[in-house]
Structure formats: C-alpha cells, structure tokens
C-alpha cells in the first residue's frame, strides 16, 4: 500500500457510519408502479446487509474471471431498479471501478467505450437487455436483482465495515460516467474520483440541499432521474450519508399527478428536478390549488440543467415557493447554488470555481483551450457589468426600463477549474492551458441592496475576482450561445428568452442560429394552438421549393413574433435584431433537435438540420 492509499479515502467510508447510525430509518423508497403509484421501503440496515452480500458475490465472480482490483467493470443497467445502485456500489466496494451504461447506449457505442476504458467484464440487466451477451467482446455476468439478493441473504451475518473496503488514493477513479452529448459521434468518458465524491457528500450536498432549520435526517428527496446516472448516483449517496431518504421517481419527467401521490405516500419535502419539469409543476400549480399547496409546502424546490421562464419564476416568488437554482457539471458536480430565489448564484461549499474574463477572441473560437490565465490569474480586472437581461439559469428576466434604448454589454466570465481543486476532473479532460473549461458564461450580479434601492456596481470596476469570491453571479449561457455574425457578436440566449417571454401563447420554443452569417436567424416552434396563415398554400414545417421564401410559412405567426419583439429590439444593436419576418423560420412542435436526456435544444445540430432553409434566406438577399 502506498502512503497515500487508505480505506478511509474510499467514498463509501462516509456512508458506512450512517448505515449503522440510522438502522431503522428508510434509506430508499423504490418505485413499484401501479395506479395510483406505490413505493416500497428499504431500511439502512437492510441496505447495509445487501451491500455486504453483493460485495462478496462480486469478489467471487469477478476474481473467478481473472480480474484484479482497480480493473474497470462495465455495468449496463436500466437505472429503474433500486438494486442497480447496490450493484454499482458493491462492485466499487469490492475494489473494482464501475463504468455505467443505460439502455440508450447502442451496442457498438458501448463496445467502443468499454474498449476505451479497458474494461475487463460487463455486468448487465438480464431481464431488460437480453442481447448483451451476444454483442459483447468481454465476459458478461447477469446483475443481481432483488430475488437473487434475497436468496443470498444470511451471508454475511453483518453489514459492511470500513476494513472491508479497498485501499485507494483520493484521486483514484471511483466511478466512470459518460457525457450526455457526443463529440464526433461518441460520448466522453467522465472518470469521477473518490475525493470528488467525498467533497460532494461532505460539503456540496449539505450546502445545496440541507439548508434550513430542520433535523437533517428528516429530509426526504426524490430521485433526479436514472439511478445509474451521475446526478442521482451522487445525490443518493449524499442523502444517505446524512440519514436522509430518497424516493425513486418513475422517471426524471415525473409529472404533477405523481408528485402529489409521492408527497402523500412518502412525505417528500424537498423536490429536485431539471428546470423543464419544475416549470411544468409551476404551470400546473397556476391552475390547480392542490399542486400550488404542495409546492408551497416544500422545504426547497431545486432545479438545474435548464432555466425557468420569467412567468414561472415570478409566480413562484409571489406564491412563497422556496426556489433554488443549482449550476454544476457532470465532471465536477455542483459548483454554484442560489438560495432564497433563483438568483444570484454563489459558489457552494467545497467547490472551487475560478471566474476568468471571456474575451471577444474566445467568443469567436469557444474551444476548450480558448482562454488562458496569466501570472495574475486570481486577481482579475474587467469592465463593470450591466444589468443582465436574460432569464437563463439563475438570471433575472429582461425588463426594459425607461432608459433601455441602447445596447449594454455585460462583462462575461467563464468558469474554469484548477487541477488542484478537490472537485477537479481527471487530467485527461484538461486543456493545454492547464485548466478545465466549462464553456459556461456568467456576469456579476448587480447589488440591489443599496440604500436608495438602485443597482450598485454598474459603474465601478470589478476587481479581485478570485477562487474564494462570494459575490453573486448570473448565468449568461454557454460560450456557444454567443454567435459571431459578419457584423458582430449576438447574445442568442437573450433573444431566445425574450421570444419565450413575449410569445408564450403562440411559440413553444425558440432558437437563434447564424454563426458566421450576415445576420442571425430565429427558429421558432409554433404551439399547436397558435393561429397560422391558413391562406398560405404551404403547410407548417414542410419544405416546398416552389415557394420563394422559407419564411412565408405561417407568415402571420412570424409577423406577430417580430411585432412583439419590437420593445426588446430597441435594446439591441441593429445587427442583433430579429426585426423582419425574413429572418424567422416557423417550425412544427418538436422540430428542434434536443439533447436526449435533459431536453436542451442543440444549437449546432439544429443549424445543420435546417441548413437548406437558412441558406435560402441568404440566397434571396
């Protein structure tokens, strides 16, 4: 054993004391289905014994296949069974490195990723993934299910002890996840270290999700999504380490009806979901008093991944919903958290984000190595920020005031992470400049707590922005959300949010594209109920080359969008404005290309999908 290796470095060493301390409490409520939905119960003691049982099983099986400790073992699971968590954790407790896959991974991609990680064996759900053995180039073994675990019960007679865990270093890989998007058709490997997991469980989880006067172990959370995905996997272990209960949702898109049943049946008191689904609950609450009462009664409603709209934010604030926004990445876990509302965002405990100025050159080339920090990287100076005008995650919505007649640019900063940070990704993900780049942009939140009530900090220089800075931040979108047209830079997120806010009754979603072109182009998904130009011979969303302009489709809707954007356009430079129907492409509901898991619209993929229509707009010029 190296001097840096110890069983105490293993992330599960933080869970074991809780398994003994909270013996008779419920650690997880598995989803059992049914109408109305039902949930089972597994206590901390039962989990402890099953974890120890599963560890012994995998030690025997994997050693019999010739595997050595620290070898990578693939786990191809549905993420729908609570035993998936037990399989993953017990493989880790046995000294191996789990690499996680869900059913959305095609066989060819899974084989390639297993080869990339050097995996030596593959554990799979034999009930749901019947074809895995035939398609695998490495040994396969069926995962433990509840029936098999029951059959193995009785050995061992006691739960897991720290001495049973392998000796690891803090930076050693604990689990391998994958990115939800692809680069050149392949997801990235995301190795997660033991120290990152430990920082999450010890510092980040309590700061983001255990705030308030309540007894810590009385908190009851829902699962964010798949139990075999990075978000729920980390959150479950964070909750369990503090004696809290996790209730398994039927899916990450849990609707308001299931939410009501979950509250009644399990005592759920902290809701955690992606912003898309929290927004749906808020819209339900606007019409249903019972949903409104449930949201008001939550100790916390935390959303992440996708921003809430201005209307949802406003309703939640006016109706006493305790909203929190969390910004994080799959590679680092949470980095920023808001409390007492969706903004401003501040670094959460245990996180060490560094905010570096995002320059014009980096906007035009937002690659992973686009920024570099000089010798004074911890003391940065930039122009003062303006009042932000987008309603992205953790950002106040646009509200044009009497003087909003000219464009004002906020000073933008990108979050980067040092390799020395405890929540740093592995060195393989770092850029050549020595930093890991999130490619997410932020502006400093104006201080509205001055004596006269006016925003402070607008005309002052911003200095001393450092790793420990606690000032507030507002999210301004991905680096890719700023496109460079022939004339200048365009804040696509601000335009998209303005369309969503002004056209919520006729437009389902909006996207601005046009990088490198003469003018930005607005793509809008018409709502099914939106009024359209029935006089046009062109059907919504078809590609009829006999019509001279793609923008003639549903001309009435395009005209209405442009009309409603007029007040917002007055705050923009002329080259940024969507002020003519020639630059509006109306699409049917669901036409925009979206991320498979979170539902985020993929800008580059949309621009490619509608390239012919967009090219046509500029050919007519």
Give the tens place of pLDDT for each residue, 339-382: 988 889 999 999 999 999 986 444 433 332 222 222 222 222 22
- At 310, is the pLDDT very low, low, confident or very high (cuts 50, 70, 90)? confident
Separation between Cα atoms, residue 248 and residue 258, nearest integer Å: 11
Residue 97 above 50 pLDDT? yes
Which pair of structure tokens corresponds to residue 443? Answer: 């502006």
User: What Å distances lie between residue 454 and 88, 384, 385, 387, 449, CA to CA?
Assistant: 52, 15, 14, 11, 8
Mapping DSSP onto H, E and C, the string for 67-83 reads: CCCCCEEEEECCCCCHH
Sign of CA pseudo-dihedral 325, 338, 461, 369: negative
Residue 588 above 60 pLDDT? yes
Separation between Cα atoms, residue 453 and residue 447, nearest integer Å: 9
Q: Is the peptide bond before 36 cis (omega within 30 degrees of 0)?
A: yes
Residue 450 above 90 pLDDT? no
- At 448, is the pLDDT very low, low, confident or very high (cuts 50, 70, 90)? very low
DSSP state for residue 13 in the 8-state scheme: G
Segment 228-287, tens digit of pLDDT: 999 999 999 999 999 999 999 999 999 999 999 999 999 999 999 999 899 999 999 999
- Which segments of 498-542 are extended strands (E)? 507-513, 521-526
Question: Cα-atom radius of gyration of the chain, to the nearest Å?
Answer: 25
Contact (Cβ atoms closer than 8 angstroms) between residue 620 and residue 549: yes
Residue 300 above 60 pLDDT? yes
Phi, psi of 272 (to 5 degrees): -130, 115
Contact (Cβ atoms closer than 8 angstroms) between residue 277 and residue 285: no
pLDDT for position 183: 57
Average pLDDT value for residue range 595-612: 86
- What's the CATH architecture for 485-619? 2-Layer Sandwich (3.30)
Task: Pick the more confident residue, 218 or 362.
Answer: 218
pLDDT for position 421: 96
User: What Å distances lie between residue 62 and 69, 231, 589, 621, CA to CA?
Assistant: 9, 27, 49, 66
Residue 507 above 50 pLDDT? yes
Separation between Cα atoms, residue 364 and residue 479, nearest integer Å: 9
Average pLDDT value for residue range 97-113: 91
End-to-end CA distance of the chain: give it in Å, rounded: 71
User: What are all long-range contacts of 4-9, with beta carbons under 8 Å and residues at least 24 apart?
Assistant: 4/169, 4/170, 5/167, 5/168, 5/169, 5/172, 6/167, 6/168, 7/162, 7/163, 7/165, 7/166, 7/167, 7/168, 8/162, 9/167, 9/168, 9/169, 9/170, 9/172, 9/194, 9/195, 9/198
Separation between Cα atoms, residue 44 and residue 169, nearest integer Å: 27
How many other C-beta atoms lie within 10 A of the C-beta of residue 83? 23
Residue 468 above 60 pLDDT? no
Domains of the chain, residue spans: 7-268, 485-619
User: What Å distances lie between residue 122 and 81, 91, 245, CA to CA?
Assistant: 18, 11, 30
pLDDT for position 47: 96
Tell me what the pLDDT averaged over the chain comes to. 83
Sign of CA pseudo-dihedral 420, 422, 428, 429: negative
Segment 7-33, tens digit of pLDDT: 999 999 999 999 999 999 999 999 999
CATH code that applies to domain 7-268: 3.40.50.12780
Contact (Cβ atoms closer than 8 angstroms) between residue 561 and residue 503: yes
Percent of the chain surpassing pLDDT 70 = 81
Contact (Cβ atoms closer than 8 angstroms) between residue 557 and residue 530: yes
Residue 602 above 60 pLDDT? yes
Provide the pairing of β-strand 482-484 with 489-491. antiparallel
Average pLDDT value for residue range 478-496: 82
Separation between Cα atoms, residue 353 and residue 335, nearest integer Å: 7
Contact (Cβ atoms closer than 8 angstroms) between residue 282 and residue 308: yes
pLDDT for position 106: 84
pLDDT for position 158: 82
Task: Pick the more confident residue, 404 or 37.
Answer: 37
Nearest to 569 by CA among 513, 507, 509, 491: 491
β-bridge partners, 83: none
- At 185, is the pLDDT very low, low, confident or very high (cuts 50, 70, 90)? low
Separation between Cα atoms, residue 338 and residue 475, nearest integer Å: 11
Segment 517-566, tens digit of pLDDT: 889 999 999 998 776 543 332 333 333 333 333 333 467 899 999 999 99
Residue 166 above 70 pLDDT? yes
> How buried is 264 (Cβ within 10 angstroms: 0-12 exposed, 13-18 middle, 19+ buried)?
exposed
| Spacing of C-alpha 352 from chain mean position | 18
pLDDT for position 585: 95
């Amino acid at each position: 054993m190296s001097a840096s290796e110890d069983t105490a470095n293993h992330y599960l060493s933080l869970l074991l004391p809780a398994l003994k301390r909270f013996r008779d409490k419920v650690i997880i409520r598995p989803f059992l289905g049914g109408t109305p939905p039902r949930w089972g119960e597994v206590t901390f003691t039962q989990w402890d014994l099953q974890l120890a049982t599963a560890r012994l099983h995998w030690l025997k099986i994997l050693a019999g296949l010739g595997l050595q400790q620290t070898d990578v073992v693939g786990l191809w699971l549905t993420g729908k069974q609570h035993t998936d968590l037990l399989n993953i954790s017990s493989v880790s407790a046995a000294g191996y490195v789990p690499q996680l896959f869900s059913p959305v991974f095609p066989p060819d991609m899974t084989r390639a990723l297993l080869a990339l990680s050097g995996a030596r064996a593959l554990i799979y759900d034999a009930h749901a993934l019947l074809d895995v053995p035939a398609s695998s180039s490495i040994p396969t073994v069926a995962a433990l299910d509840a029936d098999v675990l029951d059959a193995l019960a009785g050995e061992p007679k006691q739960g897991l002890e720290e001495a049973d865990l392998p000796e690891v270093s803090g930076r050693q890989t604990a689990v391998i996840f994958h990115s939800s998007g692809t680069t050149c058709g392949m997801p990235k490997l995301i190795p997660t270290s033991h120290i990152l997991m430990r920082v999450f469980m010890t510092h980040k989880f309590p700061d983001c999700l255990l705030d308030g006067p309540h007894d810590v172990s009385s908190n009851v959370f829902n699962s964010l999504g798949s139990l075999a995905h990075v978000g729920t996997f980390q959150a479950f272990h964070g909750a369990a380490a503090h004696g809290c209960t996790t209730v398994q949702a039927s899916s990450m898109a849990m609707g308001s009806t299931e939410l009501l049943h979950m509250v009644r049946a399990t005592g759920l008191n902290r809701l955690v979901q992606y912003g898309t689904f929290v927004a749906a609950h808020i819209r339900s609450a606007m019409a249903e008093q019972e949903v409104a009462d449930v949201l008001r009664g939550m100790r916390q409603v935390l959303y992440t991944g996708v921003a809430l709209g201005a209307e949802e934010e406003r309703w939640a604030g006016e109706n006493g919903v305790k909203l929190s926004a969390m910004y994080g990445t799959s590679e680092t876990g949470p980095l920023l958290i808001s409390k007492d509302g969706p903004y401003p965002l501040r670094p959460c405990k245990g996180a060490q984000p560094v905010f570096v100025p995002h320059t014009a050159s980096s906007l035009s080339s937002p690659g992973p190595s686009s920024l570099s920090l000089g010798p004074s990287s911890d003391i940065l100076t930039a122009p003062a920020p303006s009042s932000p005008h987008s309603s992205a995650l953790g950002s106040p919505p646009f509200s044009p005031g009497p003087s909003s007649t000219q464009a004002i640019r906020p000073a933008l900063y990108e979050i980067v992470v040092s390799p020395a940070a405890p929540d740093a990704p592995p060195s393989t993900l770092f850029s050549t400049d020595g930093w890991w780049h999130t490619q997410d942009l932020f502006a400093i939140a104006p201080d509205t707590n001055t004596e006269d009530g006016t925003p402070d900090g607008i005309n002052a220089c911003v200095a001393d922005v450092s790793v420990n800075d606690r000032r507030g931040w507002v999210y301004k979108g991905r680096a890719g959300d700023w496109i460079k047209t022939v004339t200048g830079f365009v804040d696509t997120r601000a335009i998209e949010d303005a369309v969503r806010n002004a056209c919520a009754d006729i437009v389902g979603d909006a996207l601005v594209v046009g990088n490198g072109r003469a003018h930005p182009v607005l793509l809008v998904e018409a709502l099914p109920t939106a009024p359209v130009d029935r006089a046009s011979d062109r059907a919504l969303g078809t590609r009829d080359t006999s019509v001279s302009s793609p923008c003639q489709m549903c001309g009435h809707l395009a005209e209405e969008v442009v009309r409603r954007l007029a007040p917002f356009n007055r705050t923009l430079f002329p080259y940024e404005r969507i002020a003519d129907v020639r630059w509006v492409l109306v699409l049917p509901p669901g036409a925009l290309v979206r991320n498979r898991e979170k539902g985020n619209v993929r800008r580059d993929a949309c621009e490619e999908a509608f390239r012919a229509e967009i090219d046509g707009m500029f050919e007519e010029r």
